Chain A
Amino acid sequence: MILTRGAYALPGTSLAYKTGTWRLQRPVHRHRAAPCHAACPAGEDAQAWLARLDEGDSQGAWESLVSANPLPAITGRVCHHPCERACNRGQFDQPIAIHAVERFLGDQALANDWPYPVSPPSPAAPEVAVVGAGPAGLSCAYHLLRLGYKARVFDALPEAGGTLRTALPPYRLPRGVLEAEIGRLLNLGIGFEPGVRLGRDVYLDDLRRQYPAVFLALGATRPRPWDVAGVVPAELHQGLELLKEWVSVGELPKADSVAVVGGGNTSVDIARVMRRIGVPEVHLITHRALPHPEVPEDDWMPAIPREVEQAQEEGVVFHPHTGVRRLVLRGQQLLGIELVKMKKLVQPDGSLKRVPFEGTEKVLRIEQVIPAIGEMVDPSGLESLLGCQEFLLVDAWGRVAGISGVFAGGDMRFGAGMVSIAIGDGRRAALAIAAYLQGKEPEAEPVKTIAYEQLNVNYYDHAPRAEPTLLPVAQRVGFAEVEGGLDTAQAAAEAARCFSCGSCLSCDNCWNLCPEPAVLKLPDEIPGQVRYVFDYDYCKGCGLCARECPCGFIVMEDEA
C-alpha cells in the first residue's frame, strides 16, 4: 500500500513544534520555609528532618535536626514546642507531634551512639570563651565548633547543664537522658571549666583580654522577691529553691496544705512536686488564665500548657485570674491567704492593667505559701554590665551594645525564658561571633514561610496524631518520667503525616498532571534533590502543576 503525502505522519513528530513559545508564565520550583521551621526558637527545620525520617533514614533525620539543635532528647521532652502551634496540619486535623518525634530521634541517637556531624576543632583555631554551661552556653560552644572555632565553657557549678540540671524535675527530664546528651556534646572537644564563677574567680575584663570573643549565658537564676503589701510570712521558701533541693535530694519538708503563687513553669513544677511528696491540698494562684484555645494567648499563664494539664490530672487546684490580697497571719503563723478575682483590662490610654474585683475576696486556709513569680538575673559580678536593668539588652544576634566582642543570650537577656530560645540564642551568637572574628556582619536568615492556603490539601488524607502515652496518675511518684516516647512505627507514621510544606514531596503530581507532558522525572532518586525538571521547550505555562502541587513547591513567575 502506498501512503501519499498528507496521509500520514511519523510518531511523536510534534516535538518539532516548541509550544514553550506560547508561555507567558513559567513554573519554577521554589522552596519556602515551613511554619514549623520559622516558629522553632532553636532554628530547627522540622520539615527537613521529618522528610529524612519519612524516607526511612532516621540517622539522617537526627543529623539534620542537630545541625540546629544539639539537644533533641532534652528539648523533645521539655520544649514548649511553638512549632506545633504553627504547624499547617493543625488547620487540617491535628498538628504533627513534632516534639515527640524529636524526642524519638534524640533517644535513638543516645541508644545508638550516633556521632554528631562535627569534626574536632583544629588546634590552631581561635578559642572563644563561653560563661554558663546551660543550654544557651552549650549550644553556642557546639555551633562554634561546627563553624571551626574552639570553645571554652566556664560555669560556677561543678557540672554542666544549668537550670536543666539544677531545677528541671526529673519526672519531665530524667537525669540519665540529661547526662547522656550533655556528656556526648562536651565530648566533641568543648573545653569545660567547672567551678569558675564570673565576678569571683574570673572577671569579664580578663576574659576579654584572653579571648577574642566572649559569650555570656548566665541564665536567670535568682527568684524574684515576693511580698504582700510589704509583708512576708516567717520561714518563707521560694519555689525555685525548694525545687532545686528536691531535685538534688529527692525530699522536702511537707505541710498539709500549700498555695503556690505564680503562673510560670517553676510554679507548676513546685506544685507538682508538692503533690509528689504527699501534700494533700495544693493550690496554684495565678493572675492569668488557664491555657485554652478560646482564651487570647497573651492572657495564658506562661507555663507550658501540657504541664498545666498534667498538674491538673495530678490534683493541683488552679485558681486562674486570682491574686493574693493579704496574708492571714496570727502573729508569725500563717493561717491562710486572702484571694481576690482579677482580670487584665484595657485602660483609657490603651494600656492593660490588672483590676481586682471588690466583693470577690475569699480566704483560703493553707499552711504554707510558696512564691514562684519568676526569675531574674543574679547581678553579682555583673553590675557594670547590667546597670539598673533586670535583664541584659542585646540585639537579635546577641551582641551586647557598646562592648565589642561580648555576646549574650538565653535567660539572661530580656524576653527569653525557654530552653529552645536559649539554644537558638547560642546558635545565632555563634554565627555572629564567627562573623565578628572574620570582620563581617552576620547574614540575616530568610523567614518567608508558606501559609496553609498555599498548599493543595486535597492530596492529603486525615490521620490521627500520635499521642505519647502518659503514666497513670497513681504511678506518678518521685522521679518517674510522666510522658512516654513514640515507638519506631509511630514516629514513622507521624513523619508520613507531615505535609512537607514548601518542599518537594516527590509525589509525582506535576509529572502526572501536566497535559503536555512538559514535566520530566529524573531516573534516580538522590536524597535532597528534586526529581522533576520542567521542559520549557514545551511547557505552555498553564499553571496546573503549580496549582496541584500539594506542598506549594511550584510557583508561577512572569516570563521576562
Chain B
Amino acid sequence: MSTQEISLEELRQRQSRFRGLEAGHRACLGCGQALAARWVLEAAGPDVVVANATGCLEVFTTPWPESAWRVPWLHSLFENTGAVAAGLEAALKVQGKTAKALAFAGDGGTFDIGFQALSGLLEREHDVLYVCYDNEGYMNTGVQRSGSTPHAAATTTSPAGRARLGKRHLKKDILAIIASHHIAYAATASIAYPEDLKRKVRQALLITGPTFLHLHAPCPLGWGHDGSLSVEVARLAVQTGLFPLIEMERGQVIGVMPLRTIRPVADYLKLQGRFGHLFRDDPRAREELEHLQALADHNIEVFNLRADRPDPADSEGADTVRRGRRRF
C-alpha cells in the first residue's frame, strides 16, 4: 500500500503500534519529554490510567478543549500526583478493573514539590508506576532551577554571572532516596536508548506494587540546544557517565548499561547553552568543568560503568539498527 492509496488520516489510525500520545500537542520543537511519554505509553499499552502533575507535559498536551492523550488521563496538582495516583489505583481496585495506574511528573513535581506524596505512595505500596520526566528544571514556568538541575547549569534563577557560574548546588540523588523506600523496582532510562527504556517500562509493569522510572529527557528550550540535538544530547549524558542507566531492586543495583567508550563531559556540555559559561577563558570555569568531570568519574566508579569488552547491550551496541528493524 502506498501513500496514493491511503490518506494520512487513515494511515495514522492504522499504525502498527499503540500510540498513547497524539500529534497536535504543543511541545517545543524536538522536546525530549514528548518523545519519552510516547515511548512509555507505547510500552505500557492502552490499559492504563494516568495521573499527570502540572508541568510542560500536562500543559502542552491538554489545551482545552483538546487533548493529545488517547488513554484515560487526569490532571493533578503540582504537589500531589503521588496521592492522586494512589487514589486512582484504589478506585480501580474497588471497581475490579485491571487497568494499571501511572503517575507522570516532571523533575520539579518529583524531586521537590511532589516529593512528599511520592514518598507516601511508595511507602504505602500502591500498585503504581511513577515516571519522572527529568528535564532538569522547572521548564513550564520559564526555566527555573529545581533540585534536579545539575551543578553549574545556568537557569533563570541560577544564572551564570560574576558571583557564580550557574547552579551552586548538586543535582539531588533522587534514586538513592527512592532506593531507601525498599521498592521492588526502580530504574533510570534515556530517550537516547528507546528499546532499553521500553524494556524497563515493561519490567516495571510486571511488578505489583510501587515502581519508579527516572527518564532523562532533554529540553531544547531550557538547555539551550537545537531541537534536532535532543537525542544526541541525551546519548552524551549517558556516554559521559553523567546520567548512568541503572536498574535497582529493593534498593540494590542489579544492572547497569556499560559504557564502551567513555566520552569527556565537555562533549556533552558544549552542546548546551546552559553550560556555555564553562567554556569561557576563566579559571573558575575550568574548575567547574573539572568538577563536572569528577562527578561523572564518580558515577562511573560507583556504578562500575566501564565495559570490560564490547557488548551488544552496552552504550554503543544498545542503539544499533539493522535493515528493516532495530536490533532488539
Residues of A within 8 A of B (CB): 6, 9-19, 22, 51, 54-55, 458-462, 496, 500, 505-509, 512-518, 520-526, 529, 533, 535, 537-538, 540-544, 546-548, 550, 556
Contacts and interface: CB of A to CB of B under 8 A. Distances in A.
B320 A520 contact: no
A18 B8 CA distance: 13
B26 interface: yes
B292 to A, nearest CB: 22
A500 B317 CA distance: 18
Interface string B4-37: 0010100110111001001111110111101100
A543 B30 contact: yes
B64 A547 contact: no
A516 B25 contact: yes
Nearest to A545: B228
B115 interface: no
B321 A509 contact: yes
Given A19-B23, A506-B324, A550-B321, A544 B228 contact: yes
B302 to A, nearest CB: 26
B323 interface: yes
Nearest to A525: B324
Interface in B278-328: 310, 312, 316-317, 319-327
B67 A547 contact: no
B320 A508 contact: no
Q: Classify the secondary structure of B's interface with A.
A: loop
Contact of B11 (A54, A458, A520): A520
Interface stretch (B101-109, B159-167, B230-238): B230-238
B38 A515 contact: yes
Contact of A14 (B24, B228, B229): B24
Contacts, number: 165
Interface of B: 1-3, 6, 8, 11-12, 14-16, 19, 22-27, 29-32, 34-35, 38, 61-71, 194, 220, 226-232, 235, 310, 312, 316-317, 319-327
A547 B229 contact: yes
Interface of A is mostly: loop
Given A458-B235, A516-B34, A542 B227 contact: yes
Contacts of A540: 29, 227
A496 B66 contact: no
A530 to B, nearest CB: 10
25 contacts: A9-B66, A11-B69, A12-B69, A13-B65, A14-B23, A14-B24, A15-B23, A51-B323, A54-B323, A459-B320, A506-B324, A515-B27, A517-B38, A521-B15, A523-B16, A533-B11, A535-B23, A537-B8, A538-B23, A542-B228, A543-B29, A543-B30, A543-B227, A544-B228, A550-B321
Nearest to A529: B2
9 pairs of A and B residues whose beta carbons are closest in the complex: A543-B228, A14-B24, A507-B321, A542-B29, A542-B30, A542-B227, A9-B67, A538-B23, A14-B68
Given A11-B67, A14-B66, A459-B321, A524 B1 contact: yes
A51 B287 CA distance: 50
B30 A496 contact: no
B3 A533 contact: yes
Contacts of A522: 1-3, 6, 11
B24 A18 contact: yes
Nearest to B75: A7
A261 to B, nearest CB: 48
Contacts of B326: 507-508, 512
B227 A544 contact: yes
Contacts of A462: 310
A509 B323 CA distance: 11
B268 to A, nearest CB: 14
Contacts of B70: 11-12
Contacts of A507: 321-326
A532 to B, nearest CB: 10
Contacts of B327: 461
Given A12-B22, A521-B15, A547 B320 contact: no
